[in-house]
């Protein structure tokens, strides 16, 4: 079951940052007196900012969470042990997965964040230790970016808005359940052995497979293309089909997928097929030891 933290009478302000694209895309613009519903993540504060996260009360590595007095936050295990590290908090209403604690809060103060960028050709490089916070009643949904777009500024540092920081009082925080985390880890494990394949239709059997069908595929066949993620497996593998589509533009350098009828004879199909194949666990390679 999930854990719920309720607002306390003496709830102090916590400070959470949000990227400008979040409210530029959708959702409420950060404004004093507003409300916030979002997923919350804790991150290392390498810059030693002036709005750090509170002290950690507990760390739950098995759930990839850090807990504070009256809320918890997602913690990426790639960052190691969070205890003793300076941390900052970030929120997102686009990234609210099943293992990210969800907060509801009242917005008390708002700061517009800006940073100096160094322009070099088409690249924008944020400069370290140039973050500034400007107290305002509400941030703009679409801040002016003309300074970044002017050719005359190439090579010169340019300050531009990069997001907002909010001082909020929590109403509640819902922590993900252990069951949700197990399901999440199971999904990651399945994804680790799923490959995206493009090849002649006949490579996938005498008829077009459908979602859930068991397939046998030779990964070493030179006619087969593996998209994106690579695999250490080679040779014949067995697995379960996920998405199956026809490739409408073979050889054009980009992929346009279309619907294909399950069960259609593959010897009648001239275009390649795209198949997402989840390889059976017994055929996964051993991971190299450190």
For 6, phi then psi, to 5°, come to: -100, 155
Other C-beta atoms lying within 10 Å of the C-beta of residue 240: 17
Residue 268 has pLDDT above 80, yes or no: yes
| C-alpha radius of gyration, the chain, whole number | 25
How does pLDDT run across 203-227, given as a tens digit for each residue? 999 999 999 999 999 988 899 988 8
How large is the average pLDDT for residues 39-67? 90
Tell me the pLDDT of the chain averaged across its residues: 85
How large is the average pLDDT for residues 59-78? 92
> Predicted confidence band at 76 (pLDDT cuts at 50, 70, 90)?
very high
Q: Which of 192, 188, 194 minimizes the C-alpha distance to 274?
A: 194
SS in 3 state form for the chain? CCEEEECCCCCCCEEEEEEHHHHHHCCCCCECCCEEEEEEEEEECCCCCCCCCCCCCEEECCCCEEECCCCEEECCHHHCCCCCCCEEEEEECCCCCCCCCEEEEEEEEEEEEEEEEEEECCEEEECCCCCEEEEECECCCCCCCHHHHCHHHCCCEEEEEEEEEEEEEEEEEEECCHHHHHHHHHHHHHHHCEEEEEECHHHHCCECCCCCCEEEEECCCCCCEEECCCCCCCCEEEEEEEEEEEECCCCCCCCCEECCCCCCEHHHCCCCEEEEEEECHHHCCCCCCC
For residue 281, what pLDDT is reported? 83
Q: From CA 13, how far away is CA 10, in angstroms rounded? A: 10
- Range from 56-60, 71-75, 151-155, 205-209 carrying the lowest mean pLDDT: 151-155
For residue 207, what pLDDT is reported? 95
What residue segments make up the domains of the chain, in order of their start?
3-178, 193-283
How large is the average pLDDT for residues 184-212? 90
Higher pLDDT, 259 or 142: 259
Higher pLDDT, 158 or 290: 158
pLDDT above 70: percentage of residues in the chain: 85
For residue 3, what pLDDT is reported? 59
- C-alpha 206: how far from its chain's center? 38
Q: From CA 263, how far away is CA 174, in angstroms rounded? A: 45
For residue 230, what pLDDT is reported? 65
How large is the average pLDDT for residues 166-191? 87
Q: From CA 269, how far away is CA 246, in angstroms rounded? A: 9
> Predicted confidence band at 286 (pLDDT cuts at 50, 70, 90)?
very low
Higher pLDDT, 161 or 106: 106
How does pLDDT run across 111-164, given as a tens digit for each residue? 999 888 887 766 778 888 888 999 999 998 887 666 666 554 556 788 888 899
Residue 284 has pLDDT above 70, yes or no: no
């Amino acid at each position: 079951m999930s854990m719920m933290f309720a607002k306390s009478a003496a709830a102090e302000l916590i400070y959470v940052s949000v990227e400008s694209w979040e409210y530029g895309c959708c959702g409420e613009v950060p404004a004093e007196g507003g409300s916030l519903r979002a997923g919350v993540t804790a991150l290392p504060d390498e810059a030693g900012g002036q709005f750090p996260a509170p002290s950690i009360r507990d760390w739950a590595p098995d759930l990839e969470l850090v807990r504070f007095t009256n809320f918890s936050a997602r913690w990426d295990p790639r960052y190691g042990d969070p205890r003793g590290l300076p941390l900052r908090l970030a929120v997102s209403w686009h990234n609210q997965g099943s293992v990210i604690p969800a907060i509801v809060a009242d917005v008390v103060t708002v700061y517009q964040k800006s940073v100096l960028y160094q322009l070099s050709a088409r690249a924008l490089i944020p400069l370290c230790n140039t973050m500034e916070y400007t107290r305002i009643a509400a941030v703009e949904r679409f801040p002016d970016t003309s300074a970044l777009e002017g050719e005359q500024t190439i090579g010169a540092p340019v300050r531009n808005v990069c997001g907002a920081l909010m001082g909020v009082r929590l109403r509640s925080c819902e922590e993900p359940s252990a069951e949700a985390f197990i399901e999440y880890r199971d999904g990651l494990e399945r994804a680790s052995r799923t490959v995206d394949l493009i090849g002649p239709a006949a490579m996938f059997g005498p008829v077009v497979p459908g979602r859930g069908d068991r397939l046998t595929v030779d990964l070493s066949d030179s006619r087969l293309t593996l998209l994106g993620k690579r695999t250490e497996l080679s040779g014949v593998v067995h697995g379960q089909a996920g998405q199956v589509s026809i490739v409408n533009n073979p050889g054009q350098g980009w992929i346009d997928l279309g619907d294909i009828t399950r069960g259609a004879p593959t010897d009648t199909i001239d275009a390649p097929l795209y198949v997402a194949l989840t390889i059976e666990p017994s055929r996964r390679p051993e991971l190299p030891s450190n």
